[in-house]
A and B are shown apart, each in its own frame.
Chain A
Amino acid sequence: MMKLRLNTSVEIKDVLQNVPTPTLVRIPIQKKHKPVVKKKQIVGRGQVVAENPSKNAHGIGYVHSSIDGIVEDVLPDAIVIGPIPAPKEGEEAAAVVRPEPCAELDSLSNEELSRKLLELGIDTSRFHASRALIINGLNPEPGVLVSEQLVKDAQDVLKAGLQILERAIKPGTVKLVVANGKQISLHGCTTVNASDVYPATIDPLVVHAATGSERPDNVDVISISALYRVGLVATTKLPLTEAAVTVGEKVYRVPVGMPVQDLLNAAGVEYGPDWKLALNGPMRGEALSDLSRGIPADCTAVTLVREGLYPSVEPNPCINCGECVLVCPARIQPGMLSRYAEFNMFESTRSQHVDACLECGMCTFVCPANRPVMQYLLLAKKQLAAQDEAVSTCRLQD
């Protein structure tokens, strides 16, 4: 029987890899983003293509073009930027304007600096002033090498990121959590060793390992990848246009919005219709149906799994074996909750603490009945949130 090891810590052999600049990118945007470019507009690398309309210092970052090109399409979930067509006979080549490095970064501090970082593409929604800051230096999931690769190859960038963060949010203490047995220090912050076996690498459990308390309310946690993004902005003083993405055994510096297909070709990995693909790791990744999707800035990996390697998930009945209960880091009963959700008893899932679920996916991973346990829990959470929203809207109308 196949027994998968869920250790995430690995020995990094390769260095950070580069990929050729793509000619066409599909830069993902979120619902909250407001596109500020029009079709056929010529954009330079680093130019803002979508804004976060709120004026707050903390929120999702602006989105910038990662190549010089022409806006081909503005879609609800992406902005497509293609190659600039060759100038016609007698016309001058279109001028491409790239933004200047932002010199202000060195002088600003506090909220103003946070706002500036947001405008340069950093998601600042998880940064709060004067809280303890915990840096999750564990690889997020088995097979995703990003964190340890960046710690090995991008120390300077991470250090710059930490310095600018210290100016922006003045954290009380900074702790770096790394895998047991690793001796790493980063710009003088305390290093804490913790288990690297998934799901111990997910944020709430890392916070627990670092602080000894579950869900403390004065702690911010960011991943090494997020710190790397801050560091990139801090060192280049240019908007964020790059993601660090694991494909296979290597980690690549990928322009944001590069189509997955181009990345896979550049990485030279085998893929095809008999493979299943996901953005991010194998445990929590988002399934990909379309390889023209662009890589988001916060992407950590592209996961490939050959079809038929693992038993497929089916709506089988729960057999009450209790495997999910034993692996659940949230100490709830995923099997029981999944049955409540299966039969639309959403209120019961609430009383059985479905909101404690950390969404690590271990329950589905171990389920011998091959039930989509976590999906049932997510469904229950979504239904409860929708109910709560409906209730509060009714109250407001009274």
Chain B
Amino acid sequence: MASQDISKKIYSVATAPLWHSGRTLQKNMLQTLLALLPVVAMAVYRYGYDAVEVMAWAGLTAVVTEALVQKLMGQQSTSDDFSALVDGLLFAFLLPATAPAWLVIIGSAVMVILGRMVFGGFGGSPLCAPAVGWAVLAISWPEFMDLNGMLLKWDLVEPLSELKFFGLDAISSISPMSLLLGENLGALGASQAAMVLLAGVYLMARGLVRWFIPVSFLAGVLIAGQVYNLIDPQVHATPLFHLLSGSTLLAAFFLMPYPSSSPAWRLPMLLFGFFGGVMVVVIRTYGIYPDGAAFAVLLANLCTPLFDLIQPKPFGGR
């Protein structure tokens, strides 16, 4: 009787604030998946069953690897927050649609292990995990990651490889509109420019991605592209071409604002984005790889701690 009395009278308590914005990691990731759906649909429309296979292997491997490593590390499993699935999908978006299953599995596992788990899990990594997975594969198996070579069964060209190996004339027939609609070869998700743009704008409108990094990144691409174009319009492509080709848009909305590897303050975010954008064009112009977006993201990630040193004075600080 007495214990009943007590249980009736004592209320459960919570720490202040009692209110919460209602945002959880799980809801954010589900929103991101929702935003990525049109990209997935477009990729399947363009590349058929091959794209389905690559995305399925990448997502499955990411989730399973994360669960296994977490078991090994004695951590609680966080598969239900869907962050591994989102990373797996983003990683798949960077691959050629005909990538063999073993390559996708290795890449996805490396992405989760090197890009996330060695740093303690999602949120601890100083590098953007999907970009890490892509970079490891691009360096280890360049012939399997070569978009032009892997996608021979489609009678189209990959704009960035054409630009790299055959010069500006080779891409003169490729209009910005065809780039936007993904009517050329490219990485299976990243080349669906219009859909990626749609996903990014949706996430920005929901407040899940802050505008600072995407906008400054795209500004960086445009300005750097414009500078090269002004230097010699016979050699260098237009800024719009750089903006719409390759993985530029995917990098702007998904890889650059990757939470743990980007700065937190406003000014550092702007500088970080701008730096990454300039690096995309620089790597494309001088590098040996046709598309430098993922490398530019990784380079910018390495500079994040430096950008984060630019801090405002705390309130009332003198």
Contacts and interface: CB of A to CB of B under 8 A. Distances in A.
Instruction: Please indicate whether A and B come from the same complex rather than being unrelated chains.
Output: yes
Interface of A: 1-4, 142, 204, 214-215, 273, 275-278, 282-292, 303, 305, 307, 310-313, 316-323, 325-326, 329-333, 335, 353, 356, 358, 361, 364-370, 372, 374-375
Contacts of A322: 210, 259, 262-265
Chain B contact-residue range equals 35 or more
A333 B264 contact: yes
B22 interface: yes
B124 interface: yes
B8 interface: yes
Contact of B25 (A292, A368, A375): A368
B264 A282 contact: no
B15 A319 contact: no
A132 B21 CA distance: 36
A311 B123 CA distance: 20
Contacts of A282: 17-19
Contacts of B262: 322
Q: Which of B8, B17, B314 has the most CB of A within 10 A?
A: B17
Contacts of A215: 315-316
Classify the interface of chain A: helix, strand, loop or mixed.
loop
Nearest to A310: B20
B123 A365 contact: no
A101 B9 CA distance: 39
14 contacts: A214-B316, A215-B315, A275-B11, A276-B18, A286-B16, A316-B25, A319-B259, A322-B259, A322-B265, A326-B264, A333-B311, A356-B314, A364-B15, A368-B25
Contacts of A318: 123
A372 B315 contact: no
A356 B24 contact: no
Q: Which of B9, B20, B27, B262 has the most CB of A within 10 A?
A: B20
B315 to A, nearest CB: 4
A305 B27 CA distance: 21
Given A291-B11, A317-B123, A319-B259, A331 B313 contact: yes
Contacts of B27: 1, 368
Given A312-B14, A366-B23, 15 more contacts: A1-B31, A142-B19, A214-B317, A215-B315, A278-B16, A286-B16, A289-B10, A310-B19, A318-B123, A323-B23, A331-B312, A331-B315, A335-B264, A361-B17, A370-B20
Q: Which of A282, A332, A368 has the most CB of B within 10 A?
A: A368
B13 interface: yes
B314 A273 contact: no
A332 B314 contact: yes
Q: Which of A313, A318, A322 has the most CB of B within 10 A?
A: A322
Contacts of B122: 319
Given A311-B24, A375-B15, A319 B260 contact: yes
Contacts of A321: 123, 259-260
B120 interface: yes
A120 B68 CA distance: 67
A13 to B, nearest CB: 22
Given A204-B315, A356-B315, A356-B316, A287 B20 contact: no
B12 interface: yes
A278 B20 CA distance: 15
A292 B9 contact: yes
B255 to A, nearest CB: 15
Interface in B55-104: none
